[in-house]
Structure formats: C-alpha cells, structure tokens
C-alpha cells in the first residue's frame, strides 16, 4: 500500500471513499471520452483528464505563476471575507467540490472558529484528497474528514448526508465551474443545489470578464507551465490507454474567444501524424495544424451568474470581489 493511503486509512478521524479507479468504470470513462472526442470532426477531450498526480502538481505550479491572477485574487477575497461568509451561513460542515490543494479550505475552516465538525473534499485526484486529509486532520481538533475520490458530475450522490440538523457550506472554488460549457454548467449547479438543505449555502468562485490581454497572459505563461499542463492529457492517454502521442509534436494554444467570453486551450499538431491508441484499437489522423480542444474556461459577469443560478434553482445571496473586480466569490442558496 502506498504510504499516503496507509496514513489516511489508519487515522481514526479520516475516511476516504474511492469511486474512481475501483472498477466502477472510471477507466472506461477516459476510454469513452477519448473514443468519442478523438473521432469527432473537431477533436476534443474534457479537461478533467488533466488531473493525474503530475497534472495536479502542474496545476499547483500554475497557481503560483505571476501571470495566473485567479488563485491569488480568490485567496485575497477569501482572506478578507471568509469570516463574513461563514457568519452569514453558520455551518459546521464544509463540502468542497474539486477541492485540490488545501489553502482555500484552510481559510474557510479557520473562519469556523473551532466549530468545524466535518470536511468533505471531493476530487477526481486521489492523491489530492489523501494529501488534503493528512494535511488538515491534526490541525482542526474534533473535525472529521470524509474524502470522496470521485467525479462530481457522476458521484455527488456519494457525498455523505449532512451532519444531522446542522448547516453545511458546499464550495466550488477556483473558477472550475467555468471549465464546463453552459448547459453542463447549469446541470452541475443543479446537482450542487441538490446537496443543500433550505438553510445551507453554496459558495462559488468565478473568474470575471476583463481586459482580454490579462486573461490571455494567464493562459500563456512565460515559463511554459500551462503548456506542459495542457500536454499532460497526452501523457495520460499514453499511459492509461497505450496511445503513442508525441507530446513534443503538439503546440500549446490558448486564446480568449471574445464572443463567447471564454478561454479555449487547444493542442496544435506541428505536422501530419497518425496516432495509435492501442487499448481502443483506434487510429487517429492529425493534419498539420489540426487542433485538439482540451479546455474551455468561461469568464463571468454578475448577470450571467444570476441567470445560471436561476436556471439551477439557486439565488444569489452574497457577492464578494477584489478592488479590481478580477474575480468573484458568491454565496447562493436554494431559491425560495
Ligand atoms: N479548488 C482548487 C483546485 C482547482 S483545479 C482551487 O481552487 O485551486 C480543479 C480541481 O478540480 C482539480 O483538483 C481537479 O482534479 C478537480 N476536478 C476537475 N474535474 C473534476 C470532476 N469532474 N470531478 C471531480 N473533481 C474534478
Ligand atoms: C481549474 N481551472 C479553473 C483552471 C482555469 O483557469 O480554467 C485550469 C487551468 N487551465 C489552464 N490554467 C489553469
């Protein structure tokens, strides 16, 4: 057993449920997404496949880049407003979807002022969930950690029921909601709303529409970390599905689509290529210059957010932003 799993499985205050990689079809899901996505007229792979151990660590490096403003801006908003957010809700439990690293959870849990009874990190990355549990469990006395290693598009029914009679805060931070196209985004919000009781609250981080130059710089960093993160999906397909992509033969492309108000990340083939995906018995042709879309990252206005909330049966109850209005953290509840 790996040392991290051993640590988490032995600790009395930690429980980790693993719903990916346990034969429930998660590997099939990558296979299905690749088969579907690479045989379309415009090739596309959903961004959740970036986040194996290496991809998660590359994302953490992105968060520290000078050009990547969303993380430090959202952190500053939480530093200033976590006490007000927690006061407005009165929760004893934090459920964090797409939890990743622990910095933001810490800011929120600190504002619980010793009243945190349970933290539920939900992430496709098993490593991130286990690392978070180990990092936090001894810091918050009396708090239980119930990690869910799963896909929040499929496994939200595995989030444990709320602590009886108590309020919970369900968070989806980092702008991750923007990585889903508008229709999927609304169904995800609806699924998150289903986790809320009448007095519970949803906390959402969204990147805001702004000068395209600032946005494009954030996805085209000078050190090339985002490019490496983007190419990581090729490494994942090579390892998991026996594909033979040459990652060095794909250029990183990221641009702001001004009409749709979202960033698109793509990988552009430098030359004509035939790629084999052994496990799928699939051969994929790339023309020189052909692009594979790997991510969208939507940017929001308050109006767009309110419409999305309304479509998901939620209503905006609190709006927290930075002085430059680069990023917003919003509180929402079930519409009355
Ligand atoms: N919330 C953190 C991490 C954001 S990165 C922050 O604000 O910095 C996006 C995170 O969501 C990653 O940890 C990734 O593994 C996770 N993720 C992406 N798609 C997911 C999905 N469909 N289900 C569960 N987790 C997902
Ligand atoms: C996780 N997500 C909100 C990030 C974003 O900005 O859309 C992922 C990312 N992609 C490139 N850089 C960071």
Task: Tell me the CA–centroid distance for residue 297 and ligand 2, in Å.
Answer: 7
Closest ligand to residue 100's CA:
1
Model pTM? 0.96
Residue nearest to atom 7 of ligand 2 (CA): 297
Asked if residue 95 lies in contact with residue 171, where contact means CB atoms within 8 angstroms, the answer is yes
> With bands split at pLDDT 50, 70 and 90, how would you rate the model's confidence at 1?
low
d(C-alpha 336, C-alpha 330), whole Å = 17
163: confidence class by pLDDT, cuts 50, 70, 90: confident
Structure letter (DSSP) for residue 71 = H
Q: Going by CA atoms, what residue is nearest to atom 20 of ligand 1?
A: 48
Top-confidence residue, 7 or 287: 287
Residue 24 has pLDDT above 60, yes or no: no
Distant-in-sequence, close-in-space partners of 158: CB < 8 Å, separation ≥ 6: 17, 19, 148, 150
Ligand 2 neighbours by CB, cut-off 6 Å: 62, 70, 174-176, 178-179, 219, 226, 295, 297
Strands annotated E in 166-313? 168-172, 201-207, 250-257, 262-269, 273-277, 282-286, 291-298
Residues 74 and 316: their CA atoms lie apart, in Å, by: 18
Query: Does the CB atom of residue 131 touch ligand 1 within 6 A?
Result: no
pLDDT tens for each residue of 27-78: 668 999 999 999 999 999 999 999 999 999 999 999 999 999 999 999 999 9
Give the number of C-alpha atoms closer than 13 A to the C-alpha of residue 47, restricted to the C-beta side.
Answer: 22
From atom 6 of ligand 2, which residue's Cα is the shortest distance away? 297
CA distance 208 to 269: 31
For ligand 1, whether the C-beta of 48 sits within 6 Å is: yes
Query: Residue 107 is inside which H or E element, if any?
Result: helix 103-111
Summarize the confidence of residues 295-318 as an average pLDDT: 98
CA of 155 to the centre of ligand 1 (A): 14
* Binding site membership of 55 for ligand 1 (Cβ less than 6 Å): no
């Amino acid at each position: 057993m790996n040392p991290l799993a051993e640590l988490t499985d032995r600790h009395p205050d930690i429980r980790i449920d693993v719903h990916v990689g346990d034969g429930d079809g998660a590997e099939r899901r990558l296979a299905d997404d690749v088969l579907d996505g690479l045989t379309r007229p415009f090739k596309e792979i959903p961004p959740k496949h970036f986040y194996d151990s290496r991809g998660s660590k590359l994302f953490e490096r992105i968060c520290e880049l000078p050009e990547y403003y969303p993380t430090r801006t959202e952190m500053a908003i939480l530093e200033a407003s976590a006490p007000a957010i927690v006061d407005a809700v009165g929760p004893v439990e934090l459920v964090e979807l797409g939890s990743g690293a622990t910095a933001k959870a810490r800011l929120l849990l600190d504002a619980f002022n010793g009243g945190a009874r349970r933290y539920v990190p939900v992430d496709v990355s098993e490593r991130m969930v286990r690392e978070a549990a180990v990092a936090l469990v001894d810091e918050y006395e009396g708090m239980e950690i119930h990690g869910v290693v799963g896909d929040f598009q499929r496994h939200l029914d595995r989030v444990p029921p709320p602590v009886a009679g108590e309020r919970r805060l369900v968070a989806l931070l980092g702008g991750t909601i923007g990585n889903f196209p508008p229709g999927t985004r609304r169904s995800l919000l609806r699924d998150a709303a289903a986790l809320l009781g009448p007095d519970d609250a949803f906390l959402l981080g969204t990147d805001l529409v702004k000068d395209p130059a600032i946005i494009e710089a954030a996805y085209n960093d000078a050190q090339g970390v985002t490019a490496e993160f983007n190419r990581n999906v090729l490494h994942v397909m090579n390892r998991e599905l026996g594909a033979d992509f040459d990652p060095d033969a794909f250029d990183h492309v990221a641009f702001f689509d001004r009409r749709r108000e979202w960033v698109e990340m793509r990988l552009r083939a430098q030359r004509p290529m035939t790629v084999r995906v052994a496990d799928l018995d699939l051969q994929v042709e790339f023309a020189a210059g052909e692009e594979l879309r790997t991510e969208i990252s939507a940017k929001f206005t308050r109006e767009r957010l309110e419409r999305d909330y309304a479509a998901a049966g939620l209503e905006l109850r609190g709006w927290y932003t930075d002085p430059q209005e680069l990023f917003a953290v919003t509180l929402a509840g079930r519409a009355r």
